[in-house]
Structure 1
Amino acid sequence: MSLKITETTMTVTLDGKTIATATRTGAVWYVTTWPTPLDRNGAITALTLAQLVITHGEDDPCAIDLREELSRG
């Protein structure tokens, strides 16, 4: 897994394929795998969640915890 972060974009890749991206607009980040805007830390969490779901599945305990954390906002 590779996570690249710049001032305006974030990209997570696995085996050379892009899994998810995040784009900053103003003060919020829009992540391709999450339905609502997030702050910077939330965007990193959402990208980590996307990677966990692909590598460990939806029912992975860590993925479940991260999804709940993001849902609480």
Structure 2
Amino acid sequence: MALRISENTMVTDLNGEIIATATRAPDGWHVTTWPRPLDRNSAITAMLLAERVITHGEDDLCVMEWRRELAHG
């Protein structure tokens, strides 16, 4: 897995395949795998969450906790 972060974009890939992207906008970071804009730190969490779902599944404790944190953030 690789997470690349620049000033205005983020990209997460797994084995060379892009699994999530994020773009900075005036209202926050828009992550392709999350329904609403996030702050920078939450966007990073969402990007890591996208990879974790693929590698560990929906029932993984980290997946469930990160989703809970993002939903209440």
The answer to whether the Cα contact below 8 Å between 2:27 and 2:37 also exists between their aligned partners in 1 is no
Q: What runs of 5+ residues in structure 2 fail to find an aligned partner?
A: none
Structure 1 residue ranges, 4+ long, deviating more than 4 angstroms after superposition: none
- Cα shift readout 1:5-57 (whole Å, capped 9, x = no counterpart): 00000000000000000000125100000001000001000001000000000
> RMSD in angstroms over aligned alpha carbons?
0.7
Equivalent in the alignment of 1:26:
26
TM-score normalised over the length of structure 2: 0.97
Equivalent in the alignment of 1:8:
8
> How many residues are matched?
73
Could you tell me the percent identity over the aligned residues?
60
> Are 1:55 and 2:55 an aligned pair?
yes
Q: What runs of 5+ residues in structure 1 fail to find an aligned partner?
A: none
